[in-house]
Structure 1
Amino acid sequence: MVLVLVILGLIFMHFVFKFVKTCALFLLLWHGAFKVYY
């Protein structure tokens, strides 16, 4: 049972990290484009 919770936690953390990284990349790209155009 504990092992299942650990595995679920790792998978959850992996998806959260990927989501945060994608959001950060999108914000950086948007900020860069905003700076270039204006």
Structure 2
Amino acid sequence: VVVGTYSSIFIASAILLWTGVKRDWSKPNAEAGTQVPQ
């Protein structure tokens, strides 16, 4: 189950990067209050 979930996330992220979808985490998000470490 863990391997299947990990591979699904890996494939999904690769598709998002290939299609040009960007997650802009460089800008501070005041609404969230916390920033995800990279």
TM-score class, shorter-chain normalisation, is 0.5 to 0.7
**Residue 4 of structure 2 is aligned to residue 17 of structure 1:** yes
User: How many residues were matched structurally?
Assistant: 21
Give me the identity figure in percent: 10
Q: RMSD value over aligned CA atoms? A: 1.4
Match of 2:24 in 1: none
In structure 1, distance between residues paired with 2:3 and 2:14? 16
In structure 2, distance between residues paired with 1:27 and 1:15? 18
Runs of 4+ in 1 over 4 A off after TM superposition: none
How does the TM-score come out when normalised to structure 2? 0.52
The one-character-per-residue Cα deviations of 1:12-32 (angstroms, maximum 9, x if unpaired) are: xx0000000000000000000
Structure in which a larger fraction of residues adopt helix: 1
